[in-house]
Structure 1
Amino acid sequence: MAATREAGEAAWTEGEGRQFCSLHPVPRRIFPAGVTPMRERLINLFGNKWVTGTVLHYTFFDRDTDGENVVLDNGQTAFVPWRGSEGEKQVVRSAFEVWAQQGIGVRFEEVSEREEAEIRIGFMRGDGAWSWLGREILDHASPNERTMNFGWNIAAPGELDTAIHEIGHTLGFPHEHQNPKAGIEWDEEAVYQDLARPPNEWDRDKTWWNIIRKLDPGEVEGTTWDADSVMHYPFKRGLIRKPEAFFVNGLQPAGGLSEKDRNWVRTLYPPTDDASAPLLRPAQSVLVELAPGQQRDFRVAPQETRFYDFRTFGASDSVMVLFENDNGQLRYRTGDDDSGEDLNASFRIKLFKGRQYVLRIRMYHSDRRDQTAVMMW
């Protein structure tokens, strides 16, 4: 996580260790032989991102029974709670607000019932700071499973960026220091040794996954590296061989969202206006005409209660998601992602007369923009 300059720079100057975020390793996606490199790159870039207009609900673990038993160095076990202080919760709320203030088309809403939350936040000491990346959290849907954790006191001065960083992961943003366009040449053994010491105490596999490993070019946006990104770790002197300036001085992000962070999240998640979305009618084929990363929304107002089929048509990779308008709140109902497959996104669902729905389609890749369509029947 990027520390603020006031707090983080002082820690490095004094030579103190800094605790880092650690993402969970996930297997690299293997595509069928017929998937072209360009198609693979676009799927990797957009595949874990949310559709614009999504409302992400978050909650905090707060029951006395929330936690787990861990084995101590002496072989005994101890119960470690997942609950955090009110001050820590407020820091996380403030971090959500930092992202929301960018005017993006993703909203964050705190809920008390964990069954309603996509983002479930714990404060388990000693378990590090982490989040699943973007829509990976949907693979961890148990209401009693964390999707984000803060393993130290983030109510301490200078820790707001820790929470902003983890929410960035939830939005689908990887670590910027692993950007292959950065041209970073590590002193790998120095990095392994430094991260093996307190306060991180990482093994070599965790250090490789979160620092040394270069991301696939298809996983990162743009053509330049952003050393000031909130998704960038700070590094002390002696860990980076090249660029040489960072070997001598270390690398300290400026703190908070960088200009590139702001521009990218606004580009990826532009605001939506569901009221102006066209109405999708049964047995009506509509061209979507989307470039990679673009999205189109439709209103759905069934005139009878029955099962309906939804499907995209054309040589494309897309994700299609249906929400129901529940007293002004959009609730996820179903969705399908056909990326990397010789299929089209489709689902069948029972809709009810008099209720209002919103269908969202986000394009990863299309062979012909003018030949991709959607239809319900």
Structure 2
Amino acid sequence: MDTPVEYETKIPRYCAQPAQTQPVLRPDLGPDRVAAIQMVGTKWVNGTVLHYAFLDRGGDIGGPEQLDEVRHAFDKWKSLGIGLEFREVDDPADAEIRIAFIEREGSASFVGTDALTIATTEHTMTFGWKLNTPYGRATALHEIGHAIGFAHEHQNPFAGIVWDDEAVYTELAGLPNEWPREVTFHNILRKLSKTQVAGSAWDPESIMEYGFPPGLIRKPEKYGREGIESPLDLSAVDKDHVLRWYPALVARPARLEPFQSYPLQLSSGEQADFEIVPTETRKYEIGTFGQADANLVLFEERDGEPRYLTAENDSGQDRNSRIGVRLVKGRRYVARVRLYSAWGGGGAALMYW
């Protein structure tokens, strides 16, 4: 995805996002419960340390300077003060995000926790054009936005965009994208569910927005006449949304003691963290209780860093998250619980025994 000038065309190359997983939910679930589950979707639990590794040294789009642009993009997201951490590692098997530079594949990233479904020998993020340009740097920010759980902004159902479908298909079938119709539909024309977007308004300045030339949009007429400029930086709304999902971690987690129930006084999307330091080595059970949909994720501290150990998600099922795991005496573990929905009246709690 070089710049529009380099390609001598009015449209740039675009990110071709892979299909995102959707939870399979029972048809009898109430709409509020469904909405809460879909809103949290593939977001990471806050406090996750996301490790990234490069599978090559710039591939066929450039040299090591391309890697530096990706590092700078991770740093820019982190500089907002979010609760996620980003760490570069050498071994791809230790990384949740694995990055390759392959021109023929273009630029793309799996969304959020979908990266965990990909074999550790395969990439989860690709870059198909040089990143040491303003548009390339924006691309790096855009793909990392996908990697932490955000979708394309122009597919926001609140945008009110009415496309000239055939004009879009024709434009994207040509250079430089050369997309088949199904890729164009998935990445541009398809509307997201209202429960999949973080706000109730469209942000055309979002880094998750594509730029479009005039003539592809029928409504709003302004964008049909003028097109949409390609955003080159994080917008104010981007910053607000990412801090809403991943606020800064300001306190050490509360200590979770065996056989003691701890209430989860959370709203949808909120999270509670607990520290576990077992006094003996054995198999333990860690679980939620009550009428609530929750994602329970357990981390083990290694060399001062929490590393993902295991997880259980009970969303949309009339049961609770339950993890059976061997814990080692004296080691420090962190259990993080992200609440999707409290669908019953009795609240929810966490316990380990």
Q: Calculate the TM-score normalised by the size of structure 2.
A: 0.95
Per-residue CA deviations over 1:299-348 (Å, capped at 9, x if unaligned) read 10101111100110111111011111112111111111111111111111
**In the alignment, what sits opposite 1:34?**
28
SS at match of 1:158: helix
- Number of residue pairs matched by the alignment: 353
Amino acid at match of 2:15: C
**In the alignment, what sits opposite 1:314?**
290
Query: Would the aligned equivalents of 1:48 and 1:135 in 2 still touch at CA under 8 Å?
Result: yes
* Greater than 3 Å deviation, 4+ residue runs: 26-30, 81-84
Q: Which of 93, 116, 127 is residue 94 of structure 2 equivalent to?
A: 116
Measure the CA separation in 1 of the matches of 2:22 and 2:75: 32
Q: Which of 252, 267, 270 is residue 291 of structure 1 equivalent to?
A: 267
**In the alignment, what sits opposite 1:52?**
46
RMSD between aligned alpha carbons? 2.0
**In the alignment, what sits opposite 1:367?**
343
Measure the CA separation in 2 of the matches of 1:27 and 1:259: 28
Per-residue CA deviations over 1:118-142 (Å, capped at 9, x if unaligned) read 00000011101110011000111x2
Q: Which of 64, 80, 88 is residue 102 of structure 1 equivalent to?
A: 80
Q: Per-residue deviation at 1:274?
A: 5.2
Residues 145/228 of structure 1: CA separation in 2 closer, same or farther (3 Å cut): same
Does 1:92 pair with 2:86?
Answer: no
Per-residue CA deviations over 1:69-120 (Å, capped at 9, x if unaligned) read xxxxxxxxxxxx6786201111111110110011000010000111110000
Equivalent residues in 2 for 1:325-344, closer than 5 Å: 325-344=301-320
Measure the CA separation in 2 of the matches of 1:255 and 1:125: 21
Q: Per-residue deviation at 1:26?
A: 4.2
Q: Per-residue deviation at 1:22?
A: 0.8
Amino acid at match of 1:261: D
Q: Per-residue deviation at 1:289?
A: 1.1
Measure the CA separation in 2 of the matches of 1:259 and 1:352: 44
**In the alignment, what sits opposite 1:131?**
109
Q: Which of 15, 25, 35 is residue 21 of structure 1 equivalent to?
A: 15
**In the alignment, what sits opposite 1:268?**
245
Amino acid at match of 2:99: I
**In the alignment, what sits opposite 1:231?**
208
Per-residue CA deviations over 1:16-75 (Å, capped at 9, x if unaligned) read 330000111246443112211111111111020000100000000138xx9xxxxxxxxx
SS at match of 2:105: coil
Measure the CA separation in 1 of the matches of 2:188 and 2:328: 50
Residues 223/157 of structure 1: CA separation in 2 closer, same or farther (3 Å cut): closer
Per-residue CA deviations over 1:249-280 (Å, capped at 9, x if unaligned) read 111144201100000100110112452x2111
Measure the CA separation in 2 of the matches of 1:322 and 1:257: 31
**In the alignment, what sits opposite 2:197?**
220
Q: Which of 149, 152, 161 is residue 172 of structure 1 equivalent to?
A: 149
Query: Would the aligned equivalents of 1:83 and 1:122 in 2 still touch at CA under 8 Å?
Result: no
Q: Calculate the TM-score normalised by the size of structure 1.
A: 0.89
Q: Percent identity?
A: 42
**In the alignment, what sits opposite 2:178?**
201
Measure the CA separation in 2 of the matches of 1:310 and 1:83: 47
Measure the CA separation in 2 of the matches of 1:82 and 1:15: 22
Query: Would the aligned equivalents of 1:297 and 1:359 in 2 still touch at CA under 8 Å?
Result: yes
Q: Per-residue deviation at 1:230?
A: 0.3
Per-residue CA deviations over 1:184-240 (Å, capped at 9, x if unaligned) read 000110000000001100000000000000001110011111010000000000001
**In the alignment, what sits opposite 2:166?**
189
